[in-house]
Amino acid sequence: MTILLAPVSHKGKHCIAIRFDYDFTIKEYVKQFPGTYWSSTLGSFYFVYSSKKLTAFATYLKKRNYAYDLPSALAKASARRRNVYFLPPLSTRKQGILTKYEQFLYGKRLSRSSVKVYSSFVSEFLRHTRDKKTELLDEEDVRLYVEWAVKELNYSISTHRQLVSAIKHFAHFYPGCSIDEEKLYRPKKDRKLPVVLNKEELFELIRVTKNLKHRTIIALLYGSGLRVGELLRLQLRSFDFKRKQIHIVGAKGRKDRYTTIAESTFPLLKNYYNTYEPKLYLFEGKSGGMYSSSSIRSFLKQSCKLAGIAKHVTPHTLRHSFATHLLENGTDLRYIQELLGHSKPETTMIYTHVTKGDLQDIKSPLDTLILQRKLPDKDEQFPLLS
């Protein structure tokens, strides 16, 4: 017999229900576990959830060789995401509405990844509202859900903004509900400066990356300013070596564009092609098809460790570095905007805040103060800071 451990909400707390076909021996054994209670409402024994408690109970069952089943999603989930699994499942009617909402998003020509993200937020919202009819949902329900998600799931501001966008789309799709999308609050974006590697760090990063495929990927991400998704979708036909250009098809915002290829990568690309012999995509997995972004993040982390780079580096950091170094080399901002595929110049303008050329020419007032005190015509002695 297999004992089912199911996440439930009971008396306002996250609990684990212990369900099994009636067996007197199992019943007597389960009820002896510290902190186990019987609930007539649940129709089962249960205990208040904690990761430590769940592990202890699993060990307790193993002592008698009792088999148990725990949803793998709950077992593998991070601590903050576990809260989601204690929300009740969607009713058949709400699941039907969610399915139609996904079709609505596809009809608006949103990307598959956007549909997946928006759908997960709306599913979470509908589960959070429990048995409340969809027609009665209003801004108060949205507010309570957002407060719960920010507190319990520790959502960032960017995720918070996505969440609100998803519910705005839902309110537009399902006018039968009472949500006024104009009254939904969406926080302003964080204004964070991008992490940028200096030229010495980039050179060292490429040098310590011995694997030919990995080195070629790093060289293209930085040398052409590609997003990781754009790099993974590159096909052999994307390259025009005579014009030193890469044709990026269906990039962010469904826009095509051309970006540059560094001449220094030509021998590297030739060596890579002759070694790996890709068939369709430039970078393919072991069994064919597109290479994975998780593999890139993994080897990039290892290469940064070997290069002694302490900064938090992602594939996008190489794109930021491409743009920043172009600006420092005197490239016009409009050309950089075109190479990066930005719709608005304001997006590209952020790199003006991280370039070092002009900033290095600005003297700190402390330096000016020290210099003035050291001038020959000054009688008073002013010691150096050291």
Give the CA radius of gyration of the chain.
28
Would you say the C-alpha torsion 129, 131, 133, 136 has a positive or negative sign? Answer: negative
Give tens-digit pLDDT for 316-360: 999 999 998 888 888 888 888 888 888 888 788 877 776 665 556
Residues 235 and 343 in one domain: yes
Residue 189, in any domain of the structure: no
Residue type, 137: L
> Domain for residue 375, yes or no?
no
**Residue of 161, 186, 227, 244 with catalytic role:** 227
Mean pLDDT of 262-290: 91
Active site residue 19: no
3-state secondary structure 334-384: HHHHHHHCCCCHHHHHHHHHCCCHHHHCCCCHHHHHHHHHCCCCCCCCCCC
Domain hosting residue 102, numbered range: 92-183
Tell whether 313 and 247 lie within a shared domain.
yes
Query: Which of 124, 150, 183 is the C-terminal boundary of a domain?
Result: 183
341 with 321, same domain? yes
Q: Which of 64, 86, 108 is the last residue of a domain?
A: 86
Q: Tell me the CATH number at 316.
A: 1.10.443.10
Q: Same structural domain for residues 205 and 331?
A: yes
Q: What percent of the chain has pLDDT over 90?
A: 48
Is the domain of 176 the same as that of 114? yes
Please indicate, yes or no, if residue 363 is contained in any of the structural domains.
no
78: pLDDT strictly greater than 90: no
Q: Does the annotation mark 258 as catalytic?
A: no
> Is 319 among the residues known to form the active site?
yes
Residues 70 and 141 in one domain: no
The reply to whether 129 falls in a domain is yes
The answer to whether 192 and 316 have CB atoms below 8 angstroms apart is no
CA 81 to chain centre: 14
Please say if the pLDDT value at position 75 is more than 80: no
| CB atoms closer than 10 angstroms to residue 41 | 9
Instruction: Give a yes or no: residue 371 inside a domain.
Output: no
Active site (annotated) includes residue 270: no
Same domain membership, residue 142 and residue 80? no
Tokens of 273: 């092609």
Instruction: Evaluate whether residue 384 is within a structural domain.
Output: no
Determine whether 316 is an active site residue.
Answer: yes
Residues 150, 47, single domain; the answer is no
Report the CATH number that the domain containing residue 146 is assigned in CATH.
Answer: 1.10.150.130
Question: Is 131 contained in some domain?
Answer: yes
- Catalytic annotation, pick one of 247, 252, 257, 297: 252
Supply the pLDDT for residue 188. Answer: 86
- Domain identity same for 23 and 115: no
Order across the sheet with 255-260: list the strands.
Answer: 239-240, 245-251, 255-260
As for how many domains the chain has, the answer is: 3
Give pTM, 2 decimals: 0.63
Q: Are residues 353 and 238 located together in one domain of the fold? A: yes
Please check whether residue 382 lies inside any domain of the structure. Answer: no
Q: How far is CA 35 from CA 59, 312, 330, in A?
A: 15, 43, 68
Residues 74 and 158 occupy one common structural domain: no
Q: Return the minimum-mean-pLDDT range out of 83-92, 315-324, 367-376.
A: 367-376
Q: What is the mean pLDDT of the chain?
A: 85
Of 213, 215, 233, 342, the active-site residue reads 342
Per-residue model confidence as pLDDT tens digits over 131-167: 899 999 999 999 999 998 888 788 889 889 999 999 9
Interacting residues of 109 by C-beta distance below 8 A, sequence separation 6+ = 254
pLDDT at 192: 77
What pLDDT digit, counting tens, does each position of 155-198 carry?
889 889 999 999 999 999 999 899 998 899 988 887 778 899 99
Q: pLDDT at residue 77 above 70?
A: no
What CA–CA distances, in Å, run from 277 to 212, 213, 237?
A: 13, 11, 14
Given the residues 82, 214, 215, 319, the one annotated as active site: 319
Q: What pLDDT was estimated at residue 89?
A: 78
Does 169 participate in catalysis according to the annotation?
Answer: no
Write down which residue in 183, 209, 239 finishes a domain: 183
Number of Cα atoms under 13 Å in the Cβ half of residue 178 = 10
Does 306 lie in the same domain as 205?
Answer: yes
Q: Which of 158, 164, 197 is nearest to 181 (CA)?
A: 164
